RNA sequence: GGCCCCUUCGUCUAGCCAGGCCUAGGACACCAGGUUUUCAUCCUGGCAACAGGGGUUCAAAUCCCCUAGGGGUCACCA
């Protein structure tokens, strides 16, 4: 799964690479078999593609330093482990899970950092080799040297850790699989990675990795640890706090451009006044050094506002295309019908474009268009508005009589709007007296698009039959009082 | 708890590195008006922050120290 925070990391890394003409590499880190199902990689690729993030090297497109899935690179790790073992920079550890657990418990209760105590450091390499050859299970640990480890971080500046605080971490698991910290260093170096942008949760992994680069005699890349994206509770965003999978936002109807824009604002700003900008602007201006240090609490309200902002300012045709799947899912129209009546569909979408914040909100907004003319559901608030004017059904009747020939002229919404105004003025009737009952009868909604635009979308025939039916319903359902 | 990181309106942030231009700017949300046939949009205005305390300085949101608070991490996860 591609987490929303991971998407932001990818976005920033991608923007940085694009800005400087670098190469953006997509590598699948799937060494944990349990968390790496088949759909997992696909979701990552789909998510990035949805956002419009492309990569120069990756599992699907290949590249000069492939393969790009860690499970296909096991031989690389095995060789590196051999080398480190031979050099004494790493050692085999035969400690049982039970002993480690007990050790950890002891350290934790004493208030110390839980770390391996180095027991197997003392095992003679020849003996260790013999024991492993004899089938005794073991892991390979990195032998952390004394001293201090420093590295520079584009966002945090110089960072230093005392090596005594760095655990003799496991590089190779007992089943022979590499751990993240190990695989990543091998890969980053072999893939000529110069810049590593990742989440702040990796900050404490960095000294381990830097030490490994040094042991391998490799050049250390430049790091940039992005602040975390936090939930409303101020804690690292997680499933518990809300939706965190990127594709959930697609499925909920967010425009990808809004997701991109919003993600940028979590930790970065274009300038002191601009909230809405494109990814081209990001690429033009992004510098990791400008990223803030503190975690950003994800604000769903602002996200929604931004989504609406993008939908409102977008071209109708595209909004319609993106709304279409939701309309189909809601059962309002089939894909075929939408294609066959595309102009009409677009005019229907136009009625709601500035009123929705997500594509998924469209169906509910235009559902009234699809109701049978003689039983359009009337919302209580709509009926209440209509009832505010006594004799509404009589006025509607007179309006209908006037309207029939008007509709036949096919003047469209602007013309009808004007002529209706004239009709109202001539008889000294205030607009709401007609328009509120009219809206109720045609849409059943208390609010919504300009009623003359609605009439245009509904068409003459349906407008008339809704009026006829509406007048009957109003008359027969007179208020109780 | 150890280690590491962080701290400007409720939230996202600008300003901080190169101290005076800050009466701290913008945005979301909220409140009040206006436009509109309704809703939405749009426009105008308002509310609201430099965590606290010490320094340094003519001058500190900006530099230093301390305190408090928050977060991350301590896996044969990534």
A36 phi, psi to nearest 5 deg: -125, 65
Any idea which nucleotide's C1' is nearest the CA of A111?
Answer: B1
Beta bridge partners of A69: A28
Our measurement of CA A69 to C1' B40, in angstroms, reads: 49
Confidence of residue A172 (pLDDT cuts 50, 70, 90): very high
Our measurement of CA A12 to C1' B78, in angstroms, reads: 19
Strand B–CB A100 distance below 7 A: yes
pLDDT of residue A17 exceeding 90, the answer is yes
Confidence of residue A67 (pLDDT cuts 50, 70, 90): very high
Any idea which nucleotide's C1' is nearest the CA of A199?
Answer: B72
Task: Please tell me the predicted confidence (pLDDT) of residue A33.
Answer: 66
Our measurement of CA A463 to C1' B34, in angstroms, reads: 33
Q: How far is CA A385 from CA A11, A294, A365, A367, A445, in A?
A: 49, 50, 19, 20, 10
Q: Which residues lie below 8 Å from residue A438, measured CB to CB, with a gap of 6+?
A: A396, A399, A451, A467
Q: Residues A300, A248: contact at Cβ < 8 Å?
A: no
Task: Please tell me the predicted confidence (pLDDT) of residue A241.
Answer: 62
Our measurement of CA A369 to C1' B76, in angstroms, reads: 60
Our measurement of CA A128 to C1' B66, in angstroms, reads: 51
Task: Please tell me the predicted confidence (pLDDT) of residue A66.
Answer: 81
Taking the C-alpha atoms of residue A236 and residue A199, their distance in angstroms, rounded to an integer, is 11
Confidence of residue A36 (pLDDT cuts 50, 70, 90): low
| Residue lying closest to nucleotide B73, CA to C1' | A204
Strand B–CB A104 distance below 7 A: yes
Our measurement of CA A272 to C1' B22, in angstroms, reads: 14
How many residues appear in chain A? 481
pLDDT tens readout for residues A218-253: 999 999 999 999 998 888 887 766 668 999 999 999
| Residue lying closest to nucleotide B76, CA to C1' | A173
Strand B–CB A23 distance below 7 A: no
Any idea which nucleotide's C1' is nearest the CA of A453?
Answer: B37
Among chain A residues 263 through 292, which have CB within 7 angstroms of nucleic chain B? 265-269, 271-275, 290, 292
Q: Which residues lie below 8 Å from residue A366, measured CB to CB, with a gap of 6+?
A: A327, A332, A348, A349, A351, A352
Taking the C-alpha atoms of residue A183 and residue A68, their distance in angstroms, rounded to an integer, is 12
State the angle between helix axes of A180-190 and A74-87 in degrees (0 to 180), rounded to the nearest 10. Answer: 100
Among chain A residues 215 through 254, which have CB within 7 angstroms of nucleic chain B? 227-228, 230, 233-236
Task: Please tell me the predicted confidence (pLDDT) of residue A351.
Answer: 97
DSSP A276-328: ---HHHHHHH--GGGS-SS-EE--HHHHHHHHHHHHHHS-HHHHHHHHHHHHH
Mean pLDDT of chain A: 93
pLDDT tens readout for residues A413-454: 999 999 999 999 999 899 999 999 999 999 999 999 999 999
Any idea which nucleotide's C1' is nearest the CA of A294?
Answer: B6
On chain B, which bases lie within 7 A of the protein's CB atoms? 1-8, 10-16, 25-29, 37-42, 70-78
Strand B–CB A416 distance below 7 A: no
Q: What is the mean pLDDT of residues A332-341?
A: 97
Query: ipTM surpassing 0.90, yes or no?
Result: yes
Among chain A residues 36 through 95, which have CB within 7 angstroms of nucleic chain B? none
Give the percent of chain A with pLDDT over 70. Answer: 97
Percent of residues in chain A assigned helix, strand, coil, to nearest 5: 55, 10, 35
Task: Please tell me the predicted confidence (pLDDT) of residue A40.
Answer: 85
Our measurement of CA A281 to C1' B24, in angstroms, reads: 27
Confidence of residue A34 (pLDDT cuts 50, 70, 90): low
Our measurement of CA A434 to C1' B11, in angstroms, reads: 43
Among chain A residues 186 through 215, which have CB within 7 angstroms of nucleic chain B? 200-205
Task: Please tell me the predicted confidence (pLDDT) of residue A238.
Answer: 74
pLDDT of residue A480 exceeding 50, the answer is no
Q: How far is CA A90 from CA A103, A171, A219, A373, A425, in A?
A: 21, 9, 19, 79, 92
End-to-end CA distance of chain A: 59
Taking the C-alpha atoms of residue A72 and residue A76, their distance in angstroms, rounded to an integer, is 9
Our measurement of CA A339 to C1' B20, in angstroms, reads: 65
pLDDT of residue A37 exceeding 70, the answer is no
Catalytic residues of A: 239
Task: Please tell me the predicted confidence (pLDDT) of residue A481.
Answer: 39
Strand B–CB A113 distance below 7 A: yes
pLDDT of residue A478 exceeding 80, the answer is no
Q: What is the mean pLDDT of residues A194-207?
A: 95
Task: Please tell me the predicted confidence (pLDDT) of residue A60.
Answer: 95
pLDDT tens readout for residues A111-170: 777 889 889 999 999 999 999 999 999 999 999 999 999 999 999 998 989 998 899 999
Exposed / middle / buried, residue A463 (Cβ in 10 Å: 0-12, 13-18, 19+): buried
Any idea which nucleotide's C1' is nearest the CA of A276?
Answer: B27
Give the percent of chain A with pLDDT over 90. Answer: 83
Question: Can you point out the beta strands (E) in A182-228?
Answer: 195-199, 222-226
């Amino acid at each position: 799964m591609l987490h929303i925070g991971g998407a932001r990391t990818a976005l920033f890394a991608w923007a940085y690479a694009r800005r400087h003409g670098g190469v953006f590499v997509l590598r699948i880190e799937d060494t944990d078999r349990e968390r790496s199902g088949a759909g997992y990689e696909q979701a990552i690729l789909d998510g990035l593609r949805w956002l419009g993030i492309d990569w120069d090297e990756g599992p699907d497109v290949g590249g000069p330093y492939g393969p790009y899935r860690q499970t296909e690179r096991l031989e690389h790790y095995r060789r590196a482990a051999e080398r480190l073992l031979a050099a004494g920079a790493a050692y085999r550890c035969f400690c049982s899970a039970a002993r480690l657990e007990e050790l950890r418990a002891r350290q934790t209760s004493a208030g110390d950092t839980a770390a391996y105590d180095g027991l197997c450091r003392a095992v003679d390499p020849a003996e260790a080799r013999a024991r492993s050859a004899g089938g005794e299970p073991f892991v390979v640990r990195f032998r952390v040297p004394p001293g201090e480890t420093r590295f520079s971080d584009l966002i945090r500046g110089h960072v230093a850790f005392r090596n005594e605080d760095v655990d003799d971490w496991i590089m190779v698991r007992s089943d022979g699989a590499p751990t993240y910290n190990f695989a990543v260093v091998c890969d980053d170096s072999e893939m000529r990675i110069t810049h590593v942008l990742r989440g702040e949760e990796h900050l404490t992994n960095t000294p381990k990795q830097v030490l490994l680069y040094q042991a391998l005699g490799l050049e250390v890349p430049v790091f940039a640890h992005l602040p975390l994206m936090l939930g409303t509770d101020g804690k690292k965003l997680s499933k518990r706090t809300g939706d965190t999978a990127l594709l959930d936002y697609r499925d909920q109807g967010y425009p990808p451009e809004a997701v991109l824009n919003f993600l940028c604002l979590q930790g970065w700003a274009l300038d002191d006044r601009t909230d809405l900008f494109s990814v081209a602007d990001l690429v033009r201006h992004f510098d990791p050094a400008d990223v803030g240090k503190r975690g950003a609490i994800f604000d769903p309200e602002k996200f929604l506002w931004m989504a609406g902002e993008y939908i409102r300012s977008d071209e109708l045709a595209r909004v319609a295309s993106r709304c279409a799947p939701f309309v189909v899912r809601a059962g309002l129209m089939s894909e075929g019908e939408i294609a066959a009546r595309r102009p009409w569909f677009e005019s229907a979408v136009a009625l709601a474009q500035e009123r929705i914040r997500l594509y998924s909100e469209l169906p509910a907004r235009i559902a009234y268009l699809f109701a049978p003319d003689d039983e359009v559901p009337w919302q209580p608030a709509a009926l209440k508005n209509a009832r505010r004017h006594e004799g509404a059904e009589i006025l509607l009747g007179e309006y209908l009589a006037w309207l029939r020939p008007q509709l036949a002229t096919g003047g469209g919404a602007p013309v009808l709007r004007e002529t209706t105004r004239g009709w109202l003025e001539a008889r000294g009737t205030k607009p709401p007296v007609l328009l509120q009952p009219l809206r109720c009868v045609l849409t059943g909604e208390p609010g919504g698009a300009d009623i003359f635009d609605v009439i245009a979308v509904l068409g003459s025939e349906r407008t008339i039959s809704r009026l006829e039916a509406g007048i009957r319903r109003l008359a027969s359902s007179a208020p109780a009082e």
